[in-house]
Amino acid sequence: MTPELQAKLDKLVNDNKVFVFMKGSKLMPQCGFSNNMVQILSTLGVPFETFDVLSDPEVRQGIKEYSNWPTIPQLYVDGQLVGGSDIAIEMYNNGELQQMLEVALAS
């Protein structure tokens, strides 16, 4: 990974309390897993930003190396990788995600 890409990913992840690397945008998700992520965060009513990995092949591949996570979407809260769609759904269903987001947004 180039230092420039590392810096770009660091900035995206750290400049936003809640950030999702996904296929498409929060207004128009381009895959079911990305749509699940948007629906969960929208249901919880938290502000979040996204990056469309389909718009940038370098980011699409680089984020997998950056996070050591093989799939998209990827949810970051307070600069830390939470996980993908399955993990977000599980955490949403057991209440963990809402708690994590409340803490992050209060800080």
pLDDT at 107: 81
The domain total for the chain is 1
Q: Which sign, positive or negative, has the C-alpha torsion 29, 10, 43, 84?
A: positive
Contact 53, 23 (CB under 8 A): yes
- Angle between helix axes 32-44 and 85-94 (nearest 10 degrees) is 30
pLDDT at 1: 87
pLDDT at 97: 96
Distance, CA of 21 to CA of 1 (rounded, Å): 17
pLDDT at 29: 96
Distance, CA of 8 to CA of 37 (rounded, Å): 22
pLDDT single digits (tens) 24-48: 999 999 999 999 999 999 999 999 9
> Hunting for tokens 């895959």 — which residue is that?
31
Residues in the chain, pLDDT under 70 = none
Domain that holds residue 100: 3-106
| Residue 73 preceded by cis peptide, ω within 30 | yes
pLDDT at 71: 94
The CATH number that applies at residue 32 is 3.40.30.10
- What count of other Cβ atoms lies within 10 Å of the Cβ of residue 54? 16
